[in-house]
Structure formats: structure tokens, C-alpha cells
Structure 1
Amino acid sequence: MGSEKQGFIWLSGLLFLNILVLSTADVHYYEFFLQESQFTKLCSTKSILTVNGSFPGPEIRVRRGDTVFVNVHNQGNHAVSLKWEGVKGSIDGSNELIQPGTNFTYKIELKGEIGTLWWHATSAWAAATVHGAFVISPAANEDYPFPAPTSDQTIILGQWFKQELTEGDKTIAPGRADAYTINGHPGETYGCSNDTTFEMQVDYEGLYLVRVINAVVNETMVFAVASHSFTIVGQNGAYTKRSFTNSLTLAPAQVVDVLLCANVNVGHYYITARPSSGTYITNGILRYLTTSS
């Protein structure tokens, strides 16, 4: 009898929480324009398919329980559809191609998803450049189940190909990448002086929620920050039991949320990302802005 009562109280509490979240939910509208854009990396310029002219694409940032409408205008040369990794409910039109010159609006109703998801083109050639983060913060009346971060930072591990991934009316499945990127930056390891390097700025003793997305097709990626460790707090749109590590190994399409405490000697430290196969490596910089007392 006691266990049944406890179960009823637990279910009642969960139902109340869901009602409370839904009562404070918002509706968000995003406009995505698929278009060809010129980008220069590895000392050469090429045309790539982008969303709103950026690589990676725009970040969606909402709260738990919100509803999101994303109107996708295909101004490119090929039919494309988008996949919403980690969204639990079904999404109308997710299996249909958006033809050039047309548009389609995705309706995404969030339920229990929390933390970081991401979106990308369904075809491998387009997914190499058409992808972005989908960040779901706690609802207005919710707290994090871990110490509240000073700030958060999204990091998308990507890849870059020198070859064109489209030729005429044909599309080419990407092979091995010529470089890897952190938020679109190849870093300083590929020998091109014009390449840019990602930089994350932190304050001493700040606590940062870092959202790491592996958008690299068919490659497991290893991510680390020199002299710093991570506390894993979430994966693939859900909170997890906390665990500790000095590096992250992310399978293709995997997302991991970690806490990083900026509490080592003030300076700058390399952020590194590499495929587990060991081919190539890209780097960024973690830079302290304030000094320790």
C-alpha cells in the first residue's frame, strides 16, 4: 500500500511539472534560406550549400516544452530535406524533399527534450555544410540539476572538403575530409596562413556549459581542452548522471553537454579535435580574460 501511494505521489508530481512547463511554453519562428555561398579555407575558395549564408548554420535556442516553426526556403540547386536529431516526436514532412524554388515549414513540438540537439541535411553531401545546433534551455520556472553555469558555449565539430560535393546535376558522397573544423574554423595546423582559429574566452573561476556536437559524417571524434577536465551532465537531449573525464569521444551525430571550470593557471590553452583514426587534427584556443586574485 505504501509503495502504491508513493508511486501515485511521484506520478502526480510529474504530471504537475509537465502542466507547469506547458503553461509557460512559447512559440518560436525561424526562417532558413538554403543558398550557395563562397567560402575560402585551406587557401582555396569554393561554393558550398549553406543556411542563411553561414557555416555552421544558425543556432535555434528555445526552452523546454516550446513549439518551434522553421520555414525552409530552398534557393539552392538541389532538393534537400532536414533532419532534427534527438527530437522525440514525429515531425510532418521530415521525409520529404524540399525542391529548389519551394519552401516548407517544419513544426517541432518539444516535450521532455532538454540540453542540446542539432539539425542537419539528410543527404551526406549536404550535411557536410548544412547543419546547426538546437539548444533547449530549462523552462522559465526550472533550474539546472547541477551548478548554474556562468555562460554556455556551443561547439560543432565539422569537416571540410577541397573537392566540390556537387557536379552538375549529380551529388558526390564525401570521402575522407581534407580538414576538420571547430565552429567552421580549421585552426592553424593545415599550413594555410589565411585560415581562422576558433577562440573561446573565459573568466578565471567561471563555470561554463559546453555543448559539443559531432557533425562529422562517419567519423568518431576526440575532443579535449589542454589542462582542463570535463563533467558530463547531458547527452543527446537529456540529462545524464554526472561523470568526469579529460577528453570526449563522440560517435557520429552524438552530442555531449559538459561543465568546464576555468580554474587553472591563467593563460591560453589549446582546444583540440581529431578523428579517432588519427588523421589530421584541428585546434582552437581557450583564452582567459581575467587574472586570478
Structure 2
Amino acid sequence: MQTMKSWSLPTAAAVVAATIFFSLSTMALPAASAIVEHTFVVSQMNMTHLCKETPVTVVNGQIPGPSIEVTEGDSVTVHVVNKSPHNITIHWHGVKQRRNCWSDGVPMVTQCPIQPNQNFTYRFSVAGQVGTLWWHAHVSCLRATLHGAIIIRPRLGASSYPFPKPDREIPFIIGDWWAMDLSVVARRMEKDNFFDYFPSASTINGKLGDLFNCSGVPEDGFVLGVEAGKSYLLRIINTALFSEYFLKIAGHKFTVVASDANYVRPYTTDLVVIAPGETIDALVVADAPPGKYYMVAMPNQAPLPDTQTPEPSTRATMQYSSSNGGKPVAPVMPDQHDVVRSLYFHSNLSSLRHPRHPLPPVPQQVDQHLFITLGLGMACRQGFKCNRDDKNDNMILVATMNNISFQKPTAPLLPAHYYHVAGSNRGDLLELPDRPPRVFNFTDPSLIPIGPKEKALETTYMATLARWFRYGSAVEMVFQSTSIMQGDSNPMHLHGHDMFVLAQGVGNFDAAKDRARYNLVDPPLKNTVVVPNLGWVAIRFVADNPGVWYMHCHYEFHLAMGMTAVFIVEDGPTVNTSLPAPPVDYPSCGRPNRKKGSLVPDESYLQTREIKASRIDGV
């Protein structure tokens, strides 16, 4: 059990600024808004690719699933009917869910899963948000096939975009195809926290493309038909489980105009780099000679000595209406291991300051500082004592934040927090520490291979890991990638909030010099932040959304292995700054028990639960 720490009062300016921004962003909307309603029927079906029939879990029989198209200020109602054999939740990635944590869709954190042959209705608002977001299953591995776009258009229409109005808008969803049952992959990952399965192909809008074939017959690929001189807004989403992608279109350039549903200062590039969880809006003008042009999505990966894995590329085709056929032109792609390209791309993002699209002010003063290292480690299976040198199956590979690996709670944390159930309060859960247990050369490549050098630095705990924030607190976090057993980048996603990306770099963060580089004027505002390979990123956010929010890496294996924490934002001083009661149809892990129109927790919630950190012996 952790010692209680003293609180500092949240910065008054941050509280006032956040309140004023939220009020202005909601007041600015016209009163007339719609309720957009969808029914998602989740089922399992067989699909055939690469000459193999594979069971897949889908929404409404399609991959990608249906797009949700709304207007800023609308409310969304999605009835999820689970006809699959799996427990399911749906997360609305990037939707801020203000005072609506109950609909965030994280199993055993914000809700019990929707069990087979059960249903649940998610309700949320998109007030104060414009751009491209997405939805996906928050169940291990199943988001590879359970996903779709969320497109939020401005209330005043496309003519109010702070960039030239495009002639057409196209969802461009990059994903991966697994020629195996993903539920089997998920069980293996949960059992062993180890992965030796890899995707068989990459996809664009669900199609594998002609780099892949079945007995010599090329797979279908996505074709974007264009007319010369017209412009196209690509709403690019990376839904893949494992890979960051390089995206290029032969003979064309992108003008990046938004990311994670926040406008950015437009800039032109021939290369988009997008990590799992991110969205990028980019304008493409059909200004090349009429013909066919490949649109190539290629995964990148860390160079040796990092483990090398299969990384399949895919391609779609941009085809001019006046084209007379012929072979498509292919772009020249970067080296697959040129991961610095990702840092260059993301460093070019900055917020667009526009009078019609106000942004919250960047917090200038900070109430809490966190330094969080991201790496791997070895730990004992629950209930075992073991030594890493033991030749047995009691050790598992885990992913960590400050040397702690997240352990799934046995009952959902959000209702336990709301009802102040013993075992869920501050002091009952392990608190995410301010910094790692030891300072060392975090990015030393010699720590990547497993051996005695990294062993001394990977001391690992397993616990249900949480961090508490008083309402309105301004928080600064520095994420530091480490080389402990890997050299990957880490796309870190925070639910319920956007983060200002102040600075990023390679190597070890040096507060004395790197804080001087902070952009406190127009940093990009993101919900998914890419921590560079063997590098760092500094962010700030205001904890102004009460509830229990997930913070995690969006690589599926890192998430499954525990690179996760929950951020608990306490209620503010008023009803409008506090978490309301759960909805009446809130799913229960056991017997529903209702009273006066709101959910009363099952008896299992009301029992005292002790969640302790278990330190592995001998490491």
C-alpha cells in the first residue's frame, strides 16, 4: 500500500481557462442538434483471403465497420447487439466523453463487457469536436476487425473548414489482416504475455491489395477514382494492432490539415507517418499527369539489435478518370528502419490558431510533474514466487510504466470509484510513481538483448496501477522510451482528454536543456502521442473531466502486456464538474440490481478488495 501524498491546489488559471473554453465551445453551437442513431450487430463470420477461410468478428457483416457521420454538437446513440461468442466493449477513440465516462467502453475499467447474446446502448455527445476520430473494440486483438471511422463535420458545413473546401472526402483506413482466429491470438497473449503470431497482410479500407495473391490471383485493392484538378480530403486512420506506417502516393503530395480531430497549421509533405490510434487529415490535389498511381502503406520497425518481425506492406491505387490504362506508377519509399522519419513528421505538427475554431490555452503553470519510462520486464505469474533464472513456466514477459505492469482489476473500477467501494479508493490501489525507481542511460542499445545487463534494471511490479488528479489540475508528463528488451516507439493514448505535445526528441530527456525547447504557443493537441523510438515526448493536459480514464500504449502487445495505467480525475466543486450516476441500462458483471432508476452495485462490488503490488523475488 502506498503512502498518501500531499495535494497541491490546481492552478487557478488552468481551471478558469478550461471552464471558459468548454463554456464557449458549447455555447457557440446552435441549439438545433440531431440524435444520430446506429445499431451495431456484432457477429462472427468466415472470410476468405490468401486462399484461407478465417473466422472474424465484425460489425454489421463488414470490415471496416460502418462509419458514424455526425455534425458538431450532435448526440450519438449506438445500440450494440452482441451476437458473437466473445465479450465485447466498444471504445469511441478520441471522443472526450465529458462527464460521461460510463460510455468510454473499457472492459473492467469503465464497464463490465457486453456478454454474448446481451446488448448495451452507448450514448455520447460530440459537442466541441470537429474532424476524424474512430471507434474500435477494446477487447484484446479484436479491434483488428471491429473498427470504423467517426467523422464530425463542422456545424456551418465544409465551407467553414480553415483550408480550401475539398471536392470529396474519403475515409482511408489502414489496418492488418490476420489469417488466423484472433481470439486464439488474444488467449495466447493473455496466457503468456508473449506473441509469436504476426499479421499476414496489411489492408487499406479492408482490402489487401495486389501485393498479395491467392494461387497467383491478386487480391482486390482499394481504388480511389479522381478527376484532374480536384482536391480530396483523406481521413487517414491507423487501426493496425502492431505497426506504425509510412504512407506515400506516387507523384503527389499531402497537405496535412488536422490530426486527432484538431486542426493543425497546414504543411506540405510527400510522406505521412501514422501510428496505431492516430488519425491524420490530409488534402491531396489531383495535379499529376492522368494515369494510375500507387498509394503505398509500409510498416516501419526499429532496426537491429531490436527483434525483426514480418512487416507486410500494402497498396491502393489512385486512378484518374481520364486514364487510358497502363501500369500504376510506384512511389519511392523510405527505408523500413528509418524511424527518425516518424520524429520529423510528428515534430512538424503545430496547432492552427483560427478565430472560428478556438483552442484551449496551453497550461503555463503545472500542478503535477510525472516522468514515465516505458519498457519491458519479467514478472511472476499471479500467485507464484519465482526467479528469472528458473527454468519453468512461472515467468512472463510484461510491459511497464515506471517498472510497473498493469494488472486487470477483478471488478470494474469506475462504478467502484463512483460508489466509494473499499479497495478502489486512493491508498487501496498502487499509485503510479512520479518517476522510475532508478536513473540510468534509458536508451542504451546494449540493453535491448536479454542478458545480465538489462536484468539489473528491469525490476518489475504487477498491480492495478492508478494516478489521482484533483479536478482542474494542470499535469505535465514526460514519456521516456527505454531500450529494456526493445527499442520500439510507443503511441500513448489518453482517454477522455487531449494532450498538448510540447516537445519531443531522441535519446534521454534532459530537463535542463529540453524544457527550454517547449512550444507553449501553438503545440499540437492530440489524443494519441507517439513517443519516438529510443526517445521522449513531453505533454501537458488539464484534468477537467471527472472519471476513471485509461492511459495506455496503442500497440496491442504492449497493451496486453501491461503498458497501462488508469487516471482518476476527482469530482469538481459543482454538479456540472462532477461525474453523474451511471445509466439505467449500465451492463453488470453479475445480477443487475437497480434502485430509483440508477444502478446499485452488485454485492461483489461492495466487498472489500485488497489490490496489492507483488514484487518478483530474485530479480
Map of 1:152 onto structure 2: 169
Equivalent residue for 1:184?
Answer: 206
Q: Are the counterparts in 2 of residues 153 and 211 from structure 1 also a CA contact under 8 Å?
A: yes
SS in 2 for 1:176: coil
Inter-partner Cα distance in structure 1 for 2:69 and 2:188 = 32
Whether contact under 8 Å (1:63, 1:140) holds in the other structure is no
C-alpha contact (below 8 Å) 2:247/2:295 kept by paired residues: yes
Map of 1:6 onto structure 2: none
3-state DSSP of counterpart to 2:170 = strand
Letter of the 2:312 counterpart: Y
1:113 aligns with 2:129: yes
- Superposition map of 1:205-216 within 5 A: 205-216=229-240
Aligned residue among 31, 48, 53 for 2:56: 48
What does residue 164 of structure 1 align with?
181
1:225 has 2:249 as partner: yes
Aligned to 1:272: 296
Contact 1:73–1:102 (Cα < 8 Å) also in 2: yes
2:102 aligned residue (78, 92, 96): 92
TM-superposed CA distance for 1:124, in Å, is: 3.0
CA distance in 2, matches of 1:190, 1:272: 13
Task: Give the deviation of 1:47 after TM superposition.
Answer: 1.3
Contact in 1 for aligned 2:212/2:218 (Cα 8 Å)? no
Of 145-154 and 174-183, more deviation after overlay is shown by 174-183
Q: How far apart are the structure 1 equivalents of 2:311 and 2:84?
A: 32
Q: CA deviation at 1:165?
A: 1.6
Q: Distance in 2 between matches of 1:268 and 1:194?
A: 17
Alpha carbons 1:165, 1:172 under 8 Å: kept: no
Query: Equivalent residue of 2:213, what SS?
Result: coil
CA deviation profile, 1:54-75 (whole Å, cap 9, x unmatched): 0111100011111100110000
Whichever structure has more strand as a proportion of its residues is 1
1:124-163 equivalence runs, <5 A = 124-140=140-156, 143-163=160-180
2:488 aligned residue: none
> Does the CA-based 8 Å contact 1:226-1:271 persist in structure 2?
yes
Structure 1 equivalent of residue 271 of structure 2: 247
Structure 2, unpaired ranges of 5+: 1-19, 190-194, 302-309, 324-619
Say if 2:319 is the partner of 1:287.
yes
User: How far did residue 194 of structure 1 move?
Assistant: 5.2
Give 1:39's match in structure 2, choosing from 38, 47, 60: 47
Q: Which moved more, 1:136-145 or 1:251-260?
A: 136-145
The CA RMSD measured in Å over matched residues stands at 2.1
- Give the greater-gyration-radius structure (CA): 2
Would you say 1:238 and 2:262 are equivalent positions? Answer: yes
Deviation at 1:252, TM superposition (A): 1.3
> Quick one: distance in 2 between partners of 1:114 and 1:128?
25
Q: Is the 8 A contact 1:91 1:106 kept in 2?
A: no
Amino acid at match of 2:178: F
Overall identity of the aligned pairs, in %: 32
Instruction: Classify the secondary structure of the residue corresponding to 1:35.
Output: strand
Q: 1:261 aligns with which of 271, 285, 289?
A: 285
TM-score normalised according to structure 1 size? 0.89
Q: In the aligned structure 1, how far is the partner of 2:30 from the partner of 2:275?
A: 33
- TM-score (normalised: structure 2): 0.43
Please give the per-residue CA displacement for 1:99-139, whole angstroms capped at 9, x wherever unaligned.
Answer: 11011111111122111000001123211100000001111
Q: Is the 8 A contact 2:211 2:218 kept in 1?
A: no
Q: Cα offset for 1:81?
A: 0.4
CA distance in 1, matches of 2:147, 2:263: 23
| Number of residue equivalences | 278
Give secondary structure in 1 for the equivalent of 2:29. Answer: helix
Q: Which moved more, 1:228-237 or 1:273-282?
A: 273-282
Unaligned runs of 5+ in 1: 1-10
Q: Is the 8 A contact 1:125 1:171 kept in 2?
A: no
- 8 Å CA contact 1:219–1:275 kept in 2: the answer is yes
Counterpart in the other structure of 1:8 = none
